[in-house]
Each structure stands twice: as structure tokens, then as C-alpha cells.
Amino acid sequence: MDTTSPTTPSSPPPRRLVRSRKNRVIAGVCGGLGEYLGVDAFYVRVAAVASVLLAGLGAFLYLGALLLVPEEDGEALADTTTRRGRFLAAVGVVALVAAAAVLLSGAVLGALWGLIPLTLLALAGLFVWWMSSGEGLSGDWKVLLRRALAGLAVLAGSFALFLTGGWIAGTGHGEVAAALAIGAGVAIIVGAFVRPIRPVILPALALALGAGFVAAADVDLHGGVGERKYRPSEAADVRDHYRLGAGRLVVDLRDAQLPKGDVPLRLDLGLGDAVLVVPKDVCVATKATVGAGVVQMFDRDSGGIDVDFDERPRATPTVTRVLVDADVGLGALEVQHEDPDEVHGPPGPGNRACEHGARA
């Protein structure tokens, strides 16, 4: 009869944090930490280099680990049995205290707080990719990263289509954008019965929303894009009509030496900011329509949706009165005595020429 007891399997030895001999670039600190945590040492090294930018946190931690963590099958550099080792141990402790001070100073917390927008951006990318493909949060972190980047690419492309739809509608070709959106909608409906084409949904919506938004606001984007600044030096150079599709339109009449009496001036802007600068001895009568935005007439303003601003003070024939007829789709109309790019601060009272030269 065999009375030999079954062999009891031995438990694995406890893991120890050591500096690796076979997986090292400098001193094996990151390699040993990677083996201890069970992750690729490459990612530990990337985190270590990145943490150096956090007020030197990574450098202090690396120095402390280099001196205090023993080497694989060896001893730590800070061998307290020798005078040199005790000195190195003191240096390692000081390095760890410095790392703790960095943590308590809030520098790291502030940097981590700055990661919140990146986290929200990654979540937005994952959500967009889920909407586009149906693939959710399954998979390892590499798969999730690829999906987040793909979702952000879809989001960026959809935003470009939103702008494209708005531009097509604003330049008088709304029927083209409508046809594209209707075609995409038909494809989505057909796909629901034949083969779903989820990736088309978000781009089609972006295109349709861009065109619909601009069409509803009656935005006219003819006239180009960018910044236009006009400062005529004499009355003969003053146009009766200034136009810009999108951007910033500035008409400065302070040097124009305008004639007495009424001077008509039309401003058309699809999207952006229109600024009219006039001398202090000039009266301004304004009739403006803004789809969505604000009209600022010197120290007075009126804003909202479908803004109709009508202020037509009277003036004597010896006073120059500029008759402004403005149409802004989305944005603002400003009438000032000073160029806002040159003078910052609240606008002062205006239209004094109308007040002093007004007639009943």
C-alpha cells in the first residue's frame, strides 16, 4: 500500500520591486517597474518621461528609485552598511520628499486637471464612432484609442460638411445642399431595409443642418472671406456699398472729409463683425437688420434674433449725416467714433452732432 502523500504545489514567490538587468535603458528602473506591474516597460518609460514635465516629478521619483530599489539579484546602491551607501540613501530619501512636495504643491493636480478636456474629447470620439459604426467600448485600450481617433476624424469631417452646407446655401446654391441631404436621407431609408449604412447618418445630418441653419438665418455669404478694412482719404473714395461674405468688415470715414448733408452708405455682411467709424461731428442714421446678433450704436445696443434696428435722427443741412442701411446675417454691427482695434474699453456717447444739430 502506497502511503506517500500527494505533493503539495509550491506557491509562487512573492513579487519584488527590483531594477531589471535584462530590460534596461539607463538603470533598469522602468523595466523593473513594468515587470512588477505586468505591463510593457515601453509605456512605463513614456509615463516617466512625461512626468518629468510635471515640475520635475518624474526625475525625483527616478532618482529615488535608482538609489533605494535593489537591483535584480543584487543590492541597492544605497547600502546603509557603508558611509557612501548611507549618503546615497539620504539623497534618495530627499528625492522622494521632493517628489512628495511637488505632488502637494498642486502642480501635478493642475496638470491632471488639464487632461480633463482631452478625456472628454476622447469620449466624444468614442461616442461618434459608436453612432457611426455601432462599435462600443469593447476591446483593449489600443482598440479604444483607434476608435476614439476614428470618431474624432468623423466629427471633424462632419463639421467640415456643416460649413460646406452653410457655404453652399449662403452663396445662393441651397438647392445643391438640399439635393445632397435628400439623397443621403433616401440612402439611409433604403439602407434600413436592405443594408444599414450608419456611417452616412452623421455626415448627412451635418450637411443638412449647415444648409438649413444658414438658409433660416438668411445669411448671404457673397463677397469673399477674411478681413476687409477701408479708410478712404477723401469723399470721392467713399463707396456707397461695402460687402463681405464672412469675416470682419471695417469702414473708417474719419479722414474722408464727407460733404454736408446726407451721405448714403450700405453695409452687407453674411457672417462676422461690421464696424463703421465716423468723425465726432458726423450724425449717423441707422437702419439695420441682423438675423442673429447685436447692433451697437455708440453706447446703445440691441441684440437677439431677427433684430430690426431703426434710428434716424434728423440734422440740419450744415451737418453731415450718414444714412446707414445694414444687413448682417449672423454677427454684429458696430457704429463708433473710434476704431475698436485701436481703443479698448466701453464705448462713449455718440451722435452728438445729431443732438446739437437736430431740427424739430
43-77 pLDDT tens trace: 777 777 777 777 677 788 778 777 777 777 777 77
Return the ∠ at Cα 309 (arms to 340 and 264), rounded to 5°. Answer: 75
Report the pLDDT value the prediction gives residue 265, as an integer from 0 to 100: 94
Report residues of the chain scoring pLDDT below 50: 1, 357-360
Q: Which of 354, 291, 280 is nearest to 323 (CA)?
A: 354
Task: Output the pLDDT for position 325.
Answer: 94
C-alpha span between 93 and 61 (Å, rounded): 10
pLDDT at 332: 92
The whole-angstrom separation of Cα 162 and Cα 18 is 55
Q: What is the pLDDT of residue 360?
A: 35
Q: What is the pLDDT of residue 110?
A: 65
- Answer yes or no: pTM beyond 0.85: no
Q: What is the pLDDT of residues 231-278, one digit of tens each?
A: 999 988 999 999 998 889 999 999 998 999 999 999 999 889 999 999
Q: Any idea where the domains of the chain sit in the sequence?
A: 29-113, 121-216, 225-357
Helix (H) or strand (E) holding 269: strand 261-277
